[in-house]
Structure formats: structure tokens, C-alpha cells
Amino acid sequence: MNYKKILSALMLFIMLLPVCTAITAYADTEDQSVGEQIEEYVSKHSDTTAGMCVSVFNKTDTIYSNYFGCIDLENNIAVDENSVFEWASITKLLVWTSVMQLYEQEKISLDEDIRNYLPDNYLKNLTYDKPVTMINLMNHNAGFQETPYNMYLRLDRLDKLKPLEETLSKYQPQQVYEPGTVTAYSNWGVALAGYIVERVAEKPFYEYVNENIFKPLGMEKSSLKPDYSDNEFVRTQWDKLTGYRPDNVSVPFAKKYGGFYPAGACVSTLDDLTKFGRALLSGDSRIFKDPATYELFLSPTSTYTYNGKEIPRNCHGMWMIPMEHPCYGHSGGSGICSTNLILDTQNETGAVVMTNQGGEYVYNEDMMKMIFGEYDPESYWGTTPAVPEGSYRDARTILKGGLKLYSLNFSRFDGSEEFFLVPDESTGNVLDTTSDYIKTSEVVRIFEISITLLWVISVLSCVIMILIKLVQKLRKKEGRPLGKWAVALMLSEIAVIPFGIFAGLNALWSELPADSFFWAFYVIFALTVIIVLLAVLGIILLIKTEMKKRTRAFNMVVLSTAVISAVNIIYWNLCVFWIT
């Protein structure tokens, strides 16, 4: 037996195995079996399916596409080739494609201070001297905190929709991180990049996209104008679109117009989104004249580093999607739609999923894993990343201004998480696909939780004491020893809560223009001044007035609730109306 020949053949087989595996995976997606697998998968989940459409494609053709369920369950209107869905955050890829086009034309520099493209003194809340570049906006590491103000508008508030310049200018988020140091997903930052495109191109962003992306690619059933009035077909079909929760419960009030529309307001058919996805997969010459521009587009602008390996995190605004091997694209979620666009550049295939269910994951996440394979940490890093114990705060939060309480949201990881997490060995933070989790000391976590709980208890104490005082007054009995100043103080403390809830819920639901509820923070500021003045008056009375022990004790309790309320109002910035 010729052992040398056998050994040579075995070595050749081992060397070719990775290539054969990739070819087989590519062949499977081209084969009709991908359609059969998708249809079998849909049949298993039909009970929780409202409407869904999907396409799998390569650089030149659509391998498989199909439509399932209803665009309107109540009226039994089936999803078909004319049905439109909201792209939500996939719209951001239109911004980055536009930026790369202008870069190709040498009209935008990716590394230049973006203030050079904006009106003088446009950015009001920059904290750091380090310039913000277009690359920072693409990587979502310009340092801006989250802002929900004017993100969306209710359907009956279309008259309140302002030009992008004005929408972005009036309520600007604080810059809370040094540029380039922390990734915190930012809709405002993307919309700002869209406004820069407007400035450079000297036309509204939606007009630029119509002329330079939609028309060249033949995307005739797409609209980006906030009210979709530039495309009658889209407008008519969007009116038919009904949104649902993952359990198929209708959510009609979740349908809104986009205020920061470049960050997430495109609407189109499956076929049109597929055309756009194919153009990004192939570097279509109709949108990128120079192949070098497309090559640059897909090159990493930020990375993960772990266990001596470096993996792309973001490529000029396109996120790395951790599947069986690194893929690229963007997902999107609005109140009524969930969408996903994934490009497998290694196997030259892509897929699009569009559903009319907010927060949907069965198709947008799990079915995509069936198509592209599941993430295995060991294939990426050679081991499963060990996430350090402790408390972490999502960098995509609000650290300054009246909504600071939004940051009272800590995460703890125990290693059982199934989603993509990578520890940053240089900072101690933990990174996921679109945001950092910032390591937070236990002292801070315990302090913030403790003072908030004390605040709840103190306000409830005020409510109880006021009710007792009221009952005693109605019964004409001698009340507890609480003077008028104490009653006024407690009523002021209690009043802060409904105004804070009113402002917070309106901001986070993003249904109304900020002007219609921001006044609540002014009221809280006035109430804070009243609380402080009444507390000072109470202290003076406590010092200068002779009181029974019982009276003094009750006054001390009232003053302690005032201190707790004031500390919380100030710490959580509820009275800081000048910070947005």
C-alpha cells in the first residue's frame, strides 16, 4: 500500500475542506431547498404571523421571494408584491450610501470636523474639544446621549413636522462621551449626517435619495419623504398597512410619521428593498461609480478585539451581523414593523425580511439564523468570551437633562446570555453589536437605587399625611400638628411626580412635538424652588418656635421628605429645563 499517496490525498482533502464547505453553503442557498425550508418554517409559526415577506438573492438574481399572511388581518388583506412596509432603521443605510457617494465626488471628507459642513454654531451641546467626524457618526461614537425628542409625530400632528434643520437644532442631545471612545447608537447622529448631505447637495435629503439611489436602481415603489406625498402609490399602500404586536394584537396608535426621517422612515415594497440590498452586495455601478468607493464602504471603521483577534464591528455605518461567519447589514424596528437586511459578502448572498409586527424576532432573527447559520463564539474567538461580573449601564442612555431617570437601568451578565457580547479588555466595558455597556461601580448602582426608593417612600408618606390631615379636617377633629407651610411643602413634592411622568411618557412615546410637553420641566423647576423655600421656612420655624415634641417630630418628618425629594429632583436633573 502506498502510504505516501494516501497521506497526500488526506492532506489535500483537509486543505480544501473550508472551501468545499463555503461552496456547499452557497449552493444550498441557490438551490430551491432554501424556499422549502423557509415555507416549512413559516408553517410552524403561522399562529403568530401577521404579515411577512422575504427574499434571498445574490449579486444578479433573486433566488427566492415570497409573501405570507396579511397586511391587514381584520380586513383579510393579504401581503403581496404591492404591499409596503416601513424600513425603520434600515433607512440609515440610505444615509451612509449618500455620504459615500458625496465622498466619491470629493464633496465630503470622512475625517474632517463635521462643523465645517454645518451653519456656524449649529452644534450647541459639544463638551469635548476633539472634533466629531463623519466616521464618528457612522460608528455611532460621536458621544451623543440618547434623545427621544421629536423622533416621531402622531398622524394628526403632521402640521407640526418641521424641516430637518429645525428639528435637529431645537432639541440637541448632550455630548456625554469623548468622540471615538464609546459606541452609543444614535438616531439623532444619523439624522445629523442626513442634514449634512442636504447642505452639501443643496436639496432636501429625500430628493437627493430619489435622484441618486431610488431612480438609478429602479426603486419606483419607495418613498422617504416624511409624509410619503411624493409617491402616490406608496402613500396609498401605506394607508393600508396595519401594525401588530408579536402576538398579533393590533397597535393602530403606533403608526407615526418620522421626525428624524433620515434615521428611519423609508417605506417600500419587498422588491425595492431587495434591489437596494443587491446594489450594496454587488457594489452596483449605478450608485458607486468607482469600485474603490464600494471597497472602502465595506472596510472596517471600528472593530472588536478579543483573545488576540480583531473582528469588524462597523463598516462605514453598516454593522457586522454575527452569523455563522461575519455578515453585514442593518435591522430596523418601528412601532408597527420589524425588518432586517443581511449581506453575506463571503458567499455573495443576501436576504431581506419585512414584517408588520413591532418587536418581531421569529423571522427577523431566528429565520435569518436558519439562512446564514448561527453565531458560534468559538469560531470567532477560539473560545467563548468571558464577560466580567458586575454592573453595567447601556451607553445608549440619558445622563443629563430631565429624562436622566432613564439611565436607572443596570445590566448584569452571568455568562448564560445567548446574544453577541464581547468584553473590551482595555476599558472593562462590554460591547454588543450596536452599543457599549459601561462598567459601573456597585457604589453608584446602590446609591442611585437607594435614593430613588427613598424618594418613592417619602412621596408616599406625604400622600398619607395629607390624606390623614384632610380626613381629620372633614371630621372637624384636631389634626396632626402640621402647619400650612408643611401642607404646601408636601403638596409641592407630590405635584412633581405627575409632571415628571407626563413629560417622560410623552418624550419616550415620541408621539408629540417636544414643544407640547417640555413646559412640564419648567413647572418642575418652579416646584423645586418652592420646595426649597418652604423647607428653609420650616427650618427657621423649627429653630425659633416653641413646639411640643410631637409637633417637632412631625415637622422633622416633613423636612426629611423635602430633603429627599430635593436631592432626587436635582440629582435626576428633573428641574434642569435648560438641558435637552
| Amino acid letter, 452 | T
538-545: long-range pairs with CB below 8 Å, 24+: 538/485, 538/486, 538/489, 538/562, 541/483, 541/485
In Å, how far are 53, 55, 231, 238, 255 from 80, measured between CA atoms? 8, 13, 19, 13, 20
Give me 511's grid cell. Answer: 408621539
* Grid cell of 415 as nine digits: 455568562
**Domain ranges (residues) in the chain:** 31-381, 444-571
For residues 568 and 530, give the distance between their C-alpha atoms in angstroms, rounded to a whole number.
15
Alpha-carbon span 538 to 563, nearest angstrom? 12
- Region 31-381: CATH code: 3.40.710.10
- Torsion angle, alpha carbons of 124, 129, 130, 132, to 10: 10
Q: What is the pLDDT of residue 515?
A: 85
Q: How far apart are CA 167 and CA 262, in angstroms?
A: 12
On whether the pTM is more than 0.85, the answer is yes
Q: Which of 254, 243, 232, 261 is nearest to 155 (CA)?
A: 254
Cα dihedral 504, 505, 510, 514 sign: negative
Tens digit of pLDDT per residue, the chain (580 long)? 443 333 333 333 333 333 333 323 333 444 568 999 999 999 999 999 999 999 999 999 999 999 999 999 999 999 999 999 999 999 999 999 999 999 999 999 999 999 999 999 999 999 999 999 999 999 999 999 999 998 888 888 888 888 999 999 989 999 999 999 999 999 999 999 999 999 999 999 999 999 999 999 999 999 999 999 999 999 999 999 999 999 999 998 889 888 889 999 999 999 999 999 999 999 999 999 999 999 999 999 999 999 999 999 999 999 999 999 999 999 999 999 999 999 999 999 999 999 999 999 999 999 999 999 999 999 999 998 988 888 999 999 999 999 999 999 999 887 666 678 999 988 899 999 999 999 999 999 999 999 999 999 999 999 998 888 788 777 766 555 567 889 999 999 999 999 999 999 988 876 778 888 999 999 999 999 999 999 999 899 888 877 778 778 888 899 999 999 999 999 999 999 999 8
Pairing of strands 309-315, 267-268: unpaired
SS3 198: helix
Nearest by Cα to 147 from 190, 93, 196 = 190
